[in-house]
């Protein structure tokens, strides 16, 4: 899917390069069921342009994460995919808090999160250099 160091260098579990077989293994899952990943495909074709994922934390939080190939940046695919994921999570797990972690210098990702209602809560994330953001639920 990508050999872009701007992606693989900041996501600790991705190999460099990250190829389609790697993506298929990630999406199929190999863990304890607390981490799930979905591919983001362009149309009905064979172009995997990104991945969105969820990570269960305890009994009350779900962390979301995502990455997209640079060729897909700025085209609205991230907002569309992450918004769909949020909608599905809200329907399936209405009592769980939805969180994200983001590096403040990743301005595009920070804007995406804020656009869909996820706001910084003033705390550091678990991963070094990241800030924690929480979904602001609307009634």
Scanning the structure block, which residue is given the tokens 């009350």? 60
The rounded mean pLDDT for the chain is: 87
- Residue 105 CA to residue 42 CA, distance in Å, equals 27
Task: Give φ, ψ of 23 to 5 degrees.
Answer: -65, -40
Whether the Cβ atoms of residue 10 and residue 103 lie closer than 8 Å to each other: yes
pLDDT in tens, 33-80: 788 888 888 877 678 888 899 999 888 999 999 989 888 989 999 999
- Residue 136 CA to residue 26 CA, distance in Å, equals 29
Report all structural domains of the chain as residue ranges with CATH numbers, in order of start: 5-135 (3.40.630.30)
Q: What is the pTM of this model?
A: 0.83
For range 13-40, the mean pLDDT: 80
């Amino acid at each position: 899917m990508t050999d872009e160091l701007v992606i693989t260098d900041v996501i600790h579990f991705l190999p460099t390069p990250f190829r389609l077989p790697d993506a298929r293994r990630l999406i199929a899952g190999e863990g304890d069921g607390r981490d799930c990943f979905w591919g983001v495909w362009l149309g009905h074709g064979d172009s995997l342009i990104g991945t969105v994922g969820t990570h269960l934390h305890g009994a009350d939080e779900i962390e979301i994460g995502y990455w997209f190939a640079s060729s897909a940046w700025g085209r609205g695919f991230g907002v569309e995919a992450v918004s769909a994921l949020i909608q599905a999570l809200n329907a399936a797990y209405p009592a769980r808090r939805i969180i994200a972690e983001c590096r403040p210098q990743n301005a595009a990702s920070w804007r995406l999160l804020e656009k869909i209602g996820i706001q910084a809560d003033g705390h550091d994330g678990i991963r070094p250099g990241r800030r924690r953001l929480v979904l602001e639920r609307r009634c």
